[in-house]
Chain A
Amino acid sequence: MTRPAPRTAAKPADGFDYSHRTAPHVTIRGLCKRYTDATIYDHFDFDIPRGKLISVFGPNGCGKSTLINMIAGLVPPDAGEVLFDGRPLSRVKFGYVFQNYREALFPWLPAFDNIAYPLKLMGVSKPQRKARVERLIERLGVKIDLALYPYYLSGGQQQLVSIMRALIVEPEMLFLDEPFSALDYEMTLFMRDQLQRVFIETSTTMVLVSHDLEEAVYLSDYVLLLSRHPARVVEFVSYDAPRPRTDKTLSEPGFIATKAHCLKLFQREVKRA
C-alpha cells in the first residue's frame, strides 16, 4: 500500500511549532473485518497524517464508517492493530461525532451540560467544567442559547453541540461519521464552515466520513478514496487550497479538477463488478 506521505507538518493557528512532528498520527496495520456476508477489510494498512482533515469517500457499503468505528474502538476488528503515536486507543483522548445527533445527545441535559458531560466523566470540578465550556464557546464564536434542552435546538445547532461535546476534552483526534447528512442543504453549508473554523482553530487531526464528494473535497486536506469491499486505498488525493475556504473555492479550477479526478476514480470503482 503506497501513498504520498504529507511532506510538511501542520502549522496550527495557535502559534506552536509542531514541524518536528512529521510522523503519521495514526498507523493502521493488517486490519481485517468480516461480516457474515462479506469481507470488508482484508489486511488493510494505512497511515493518518497529523493535524490534517481527511475525508473518507467510497462506494456504498465499502466500509467507510466501519473504518472509523474500528479506529475509534466502537467496532472490534477481527485482526490488526491501530496505534496513535505508538499508543493504544485506551490512552488517547479523542472525540466522535455521530450522524444521528438527535440520538447522540442526552435530551435530559441542557445543551451546556451535554457539552460538559465528558469533563464530568473525567472528574473535573463543576466550576472548572463551566469555565472550560465557556472558553470553548468563546473560541468557536458559538451563538446558541446553551441553557436550552437539545430538542429545542435546530438540527444544525444540535450537531454543533455534539461537535463541541467532542471537542471539550481537547482531543488529539476527532472522528465524524457523516455529521451533516441529516441536515438540510442550507444548514449543511453553514455547518461545513463551522467545522472548518473548528479545524483552523484547533488543528485537531480529523477523519470525516462523507457521502458527498463536494463536501469531502471542500473540507479536507486529503480525500481517502476506498474501493469496493474488501476495501483498498484507491488513491489518497491531496487538496491543498488555502483556508479558510469559501463559496468561491467551489468554483476555482483546483477544486473542480480535484473533484473531477475523485469522481472519475469513484465511478471506475462503482462500475467494477
Chain B
Amino acid sequence: MMKSRALLPLVGVAILLGIWAIVNGLKLVDPVLLPSPLSTFHTLWQGMIGGKLGADFLKTVARTVSSTAIAAVIAIPLGILLGSSEKVYRSVEFLIDFFRSTPASAMFPLFLVLFGVGDRTKISVAAFGAALVILFNVAYGVMNARKTRLLAAKVMGASRSRVLFDVMLKESLPQTFVGLRNGVSLALVIIVVAEMFIGSTDGLGQRVFEAQQLFDMPGMYAAIFAAGALGYTLNLLFLVIERRFVHWAGR
C-alpha cells in the first residue's frame, strides 16, 4: 500500500511519455519538430556525460549558485536589519515592492552598461532579482516573529542583541528558506534568459537557443529537460536543507 503510494508520481510521467511516444509513432506531429522520446533522452544522456551539454549545465549551475549566494549574503543581514524595526521597513517597503515587481529582464540593458558583456552582468541581474525576493521574505519573517517568544526572552533578561540573535533570527528562518527557494528559482530563470540573449557563448540558455537556431530538435529538448532537472533539483536541495536546519517549521 505504502509502496504503491510512493510510486504515484510516476504515473503522470508514464502517461506523458506514453502520449509522446504514440504521437511520435503515428507521426501526428512532424518528427522534425517532435523527435521520439528515445532519441531525445539519448541526446540528453550523451550530452550530459561528456558532450557540450554537460559543460553548459555546469556553467549555468555555477552562475545560478553564485548569484543566489551573493543575493543571500546581501539580503539576509539587510532583511534582518529592516525587519527588526517595523518603522524602517515601512519606510522602504514601497521601494522593495516596486523593484520586486519590476521584471528583472528589464534591467539587462542597465546592467550591461554598468558591467559590460559577460558573466558579471548575468550574475548581478540574477542576484538583484533574487536579493529582493529574499530580502522581502527575511524582513517579513523577522517582523512576524511570535510576540510571546520575544516577550519570553525579554522577561528572562535577554538584551536587545540577544533577542535579535537568539530569537528573531531563529524565528525568521522558516520564512528565510521560503525566500531562498523562490530566490534560487528566480535566479535560474534570469540566468537562462541572460544566456540566451546577452552575448553568451555557453550555459543552458545558450544551448537551447543554439539548438533551435541549428534546428537540432533532440538537442533543444535535451537542453530544456536539463534546465528543468536543474530547477527541480535546486528547489529540492533547499527543501532538504530546510528540513534539517529548520526542523521546527510548521510545528
- Listed in ascending order, the chain A residues whose CB lies under 8 Å from chain B are 72-74, 96, 98, 100, 103-108, 117-118, 121-122, 149, 151, 165, 169
Nearest-neighbour CB distance to chain B for A38, whole angstroms, equals 22
Sort A-B residue pairs by CB-CB distance and give the 8 closest, nearest first. Answer: A107-B248, A103-B148, A151-B251, A118-B156, A96-B155, A103-B146, A104-B152, A108-B170
Interface of chain B: mostly helix, strand, loop or mixed: helix
Are A149 and B151 touching (Cβ within 8 A)?
no
Are B248 and A73 touching (Cβ within 8 A)?
no
Are B170 and A104 touching (Cβ within 8 A)?
no
Report if A118-B148 is in contact (Cβ < 8 Å); known contacts: A106-B170, A108-B248, A151-B248.
no
Are B157 and A121 touching (Cβ within 8 A)?
yes
Interface size in chain B (residues, C-beta < 8 A): 19
Are A121 and B162 touching (Cβ within 8 A)?
yes
* Bound form: Cα–Cα A105–B166 in Å: 12
Are A118 and B251 touching (Cβ within 8 A)?
no
Nearest-neighbour CB distance to chain A for B191, whole angstroms, equals 33
Nearest-neighbour CB distance to chain A for B61, whole angstroms, equals 31
* Bound form: Cα–Cα A157–B239 in Å: 30
Of B149, B152, B162, most buried by chain A (CB within 10 Å of CB) is B152
* Bound form: Cα–Cα A107–B245 in Å: 12
Report if A121-B251 is in contact (Cβ < 8 Å); known contacts: A104-B152, A108-B170.
no
Are A118 and B151 touching (Cβ within 8 A)?
no
- Listed in ascending order, the chain B residues whose CB lies under 8 Å from chain A are 146-149, 151-152, 154-158, 162, 166-167, 170, 173, 247-248, 251
Are A122 and B157 touching (Cβ within 8 A)?
yes
Residues of A near B247 (CB, < 8 A) are 108, 149
Nearest-neighbour CB distance to chain A for B242, whole angstroms, equals 13
Residues of B near A73 (CB, < 8 A) are 155
Nearest-neighbour CB distance to chain A for B248, whole angstroms, equals 3
Report if A98-B148 is in contact (Cβ < 8 Å); known contacts: A108-B170, A121-B158.
yes
A-B contact pairs, 22 of them (CB 8 A): A72-B155, A74-B151, A74-B154, A74-B155, A96-B152, A98-B148, A98-B151, A98-B152, A100-B148, A103-B148, A103-B149, A104-B148, A104-B149, A106-B166, A108-B248, A117-B156, A118-B156, A121-B156, A149-B247, A149-B248, A151-B248, A165-B156
Residues of B near A121 (CB, < 8 A) are 156-158, 162
* Bound form: Cα–Cα A165–B149 in Å: 13
Residues of A near B155 (CB, < 8 A) are 72-74, 96
Report if A106-B167 is in contact (Cβ < 8 Å); known contacts: A74-B155, A121-B157, A151-B251.
yes
Residues of A near B152 (CB, < 8 A) are 96, 98, 104-105
Residues of B near A169 (CB, < 8 A) are 156
Residues of B near A118 (CB, < 8 A) are 156-157
* Bound form: Cα–Cα A27–B148 in Å: 27
Residues of A near B156 (CB, < 8 A) are 117-118, 121, 165, 169
* Bound form: Cα–Cα A151–B247 in Å: 10
Residues of A near B158 (CB, < 8 A) are 121
* Bound form: Cα–Cα A111–B100 in Å: 40
Nearest-neighbour CB distance to chain A for B173, whole angstroms, equals 8
Q: Which residue of B lies closest to A69 (CB)?
A: B151
Are A107 and B251 touching (Cβ within 8 A)?
yes
Nearest-neighbour CB distance to chain A for B162, whole angstroms, equals 7
Residues of A near B146 (CB, < 8 A) are 103
* Bound form: Cα–Cα A169–B156 in Å: 9
Are A106 and B251 touching (Cβ within 8 A)?
no
Residues of B near A149 (CB, < 8 A) are 247-248
Contact for A106 among B149, B154, B162, CB less than 8 A: B149
Residues of A near B149 (CB, < 8 A) are 103-104, 106
Residues of A near B166 (CB, < 8 A) are 106, 117
Residues of B near A100 (CB, < 8 A) are 148
Residues of A near B167 (CB, < 8 A) are 106
Residues of A near B173 (CB, < 8 A) are 108
Q: Which residue of B lies closest to A168 (CB)?
A: B156
* Bound form: Cα–Cα A104–B155 in Å: 11
Nearest-neighbour CB distance to chain A for B111, whole angstroms, equals 38
Q: Which residue of A lies closest to B248 (CB)?
A: A107
Residues of B near A105 (CB, < 8 A) are 152
* Bound form: Cα–Cα A169–B173 in Å: 29
* Bound form: Cα–Cα A73–B156 in Å: 11
Contacts A106-B170, A108-B173, A108-B248 supplied; 13 other A-B pairs, CB < 8 Å: A74-B151, A96-B152, A96-B155, A98-B148, A98-B152, A104-B149, A106-B149, A107-B251, A108-B170, A117-B166, A121-B156, A121-B162, A151-B248
Q: Which residue of A lies closest to B245 (CB)?
A: A108
Q: Which residue of B lies closest to A152 (CB)?
A: B251
Nearest-neighbour CB distance to chain B for A240, whole angstroms, equals 31
